[in-house]
Amino acid sequence: MKRTSLLLLITILICQTAPVLAEELSGEPLQGEGQQLTPAEKKFAELLAQAQLVGHYTTWDDAETPQNDSYTLEKVTKLEGGLWLFVARIQYGEHDVKLPLPLAVQWAGDTPVITLDNFPVPGFGIFSVRIVIHDTQYAGTWDGGDHGGHMYGRIVKLKNASEQPESGQPQKAE
């Protein structure tokens, strides 16, 4: 059965969210907040804050027909141990939820790579993801064992931080 990259991302990220969500709801500061960032880390956090990843994904079964997708990010904060907290609004079908998502980010020089390795998701399988961020573009692969594909697109700053785009619709760049 085909699954979109958005469904894949939602499932993986929800499974990783519970500890951070509990900490955020308790009102206690998150680990790593306020730590010094390198210039590349600062650029990464600023690029993704109040931004939307607007692009396409493909599947192995239908690599010739890209599908639209988008992810809205409120902020991205460095945690400890190579993790970053992505506060993301995820819209898929009837679902519209804002989640704090702790994701691994590795660095290829000054280039960030959002990384998930063989992450088990009960009922769905094991997933690996690599998304490279370069300037205002992103590209990468996703793999769910018997299904996977590519995803790519642009990073667009939201016009107004208090305004959220309609489901699946990117805002125009400033």
Q: pLDDT tens digits, residue range 95-125?
A: 576 777 788 999 999 999 999 888 654 445 6
Q: Is 120 exposed, middle or buried (0-12, 13-18, 19+ CB in 10 A)?
A: exposed
The yes-or-no verdict on residue 174 having pLDDT over 70 is no
pLDDT tens per residue, range 85-98:
989 887 655 557 67
Average pLDDT score over residue span 30-53:
86
Average pLDDT score over residue span 67-75:
90
Please, where are the H alpha helices in the chain?
A: 5-26, 39-48
Of the candidate ranges 22-26, 70-74, 91-95, 116-120, the one whose mean pLDDT is the lowest: 22-26
Q: Does domain 5-26+39-157 have CATH number 2.40.128?
A: yes
- Token pair 């992505």 in the structure block, residue: 86
The candidate with the shortest Cα–Cα distance to 58, out of 173, 160, 149, is 149
